[in-house]
Homo-oligomer: A and B are copies of this chain.
């Protein structure tokens, strides 16, 4: 998606440790006009897939998923929680995720009764790099018994193994911007 690539090139910051900082428009200050257009793009890519619910992960996936929902007839958005707080009760589905960015392992949790085996799920998330978070979300869909239409990712670091890993599981992955390489000095190159 040209618009997102241009925005990443203009406002993204490549930091040491292979970090792409997009906090000025994607996951701290959110450019909702951009997210609306990204939502429309996901809507086109997955039109006719019969999506009944969007699944994402707190916190940075929530805005992207919510703004995409109108393009799927306002289907409900479920966000997996990273720590089961007091307000999650009853049966939950859980999966374990390793976050390389934050250097921690955590559980992601969805209340069981929020996804039914009749659902067709689209997973939406902001980043795909090692694929750990996405693998966890796929695991949750599989445990729920629902059908998985695929994943819609804002930014894929295509030089990292996550994309191949998840596509290798036979899962459709659509990323709006696929980074081939990035470097603080040489800048960002996208896959063509």
List residues of A whose CB falls within 8 A of some B CB. 15, 17, 19, 21, 23-24, 27-33, 35-36, 53, 58-59, 62-63, 66-67, 69-70, 74-79, 81, 85-89, 101-103, 110-111, 114
CB distance from A85 to the nearest CB of B (A): 6
Question: Is the beta-carbon distance between B30 and A87 smaller than 8 angstroms?
Answer: no
Q: Which residues on B sit within 8 Å (CB–CB) of A89?
A: 15, 21
From B30, B70, B78, B79, A78 is in contact (CB under 8 Å) with B30
CB pair B28–A76 under 8 Å, yes or no, is no
Residues of B within 8 A of A62 (CB): 30, 59, 62-63, 66
Q: Select which of B30, B32, B63, B101 is within 8 A of A70 by beta carbon.
A: B32
Cα–Cα distance between A103 and B69 once the two chains are bound (Å): 33
Chain B CB within 10 Å, residue with most, of A31, A75, A87: A87
Residue of B nearest to A110 (CB): B28
Q: Does the CB pair A19–B77 fall under 8 Å?
A: no
Distance in angstroms between the alpha carbons of A89 and B101 in the assembled complex = 14
A60 CA / B64 CA spacing, docked (Å): 14
Given A58-B58, A86-B19, A87-B101; A114-B29 close (CB under 8 Å)? yes
Q: Is A32 touching B102 in the complex (CB atoms < 8 A)?
A: no
List residues of chain B with CB within 8 A of the CB of A28. 78-79, 81, 87-88, 110-111, 114
Q: Chain B residues near A79: list those with CB within 8 A.
A: 28, 30, 59, 63
**Which residues from chain B contact A81 at a C-beta distance below 8 Å?**
28, 59
